[in-house]
Structure 1
Amino acid sequence: QTYWPEVQRICDKYGILLVADEVICGFGRTGKWFGSDYFGIHPDFMSIAKGLSSGYLPIGGVMVSDRVSQVLIDKCGEFAHGYTYSGHPVAASVALANLRILREENIVETVDNETGPYLQNCWAELAEHPLVGEARGVGFLGALELVKDKTIREFYPKIGKVGSLCRNICIENGLVMRAVGDTMIISPPLIASKANIDELILKAKQSLDITLERISTLNFDD
Structure 2
Amino acid sequence: MEELRQLLENNARWAAAAVERDPDYFKRLERQQQPQHLWIGCSDSRVPANEIVAMQPGELFVHRNVANVVAHSDLNCQSVIQFAVERLRVKHVMVVGHYGCSGVHAALDRSRSAGISDYWLGHVRDVVSQYQNLLDAEPTDHRRESLLGELNVLEQALNVCTSAAVLDAWARGQELSVHGWIYRLGDGLLRHLNFAVDAPCDSSELRTRCVGKILAERARYRARRSAEVSKATTAAGA
Alignment TM-score, normalising by the size of structure 2: 0.29
State the structure with bigger RCO (CA 8 A, min sep 6), 1 or 2. 2
More helix, by proportion: 2
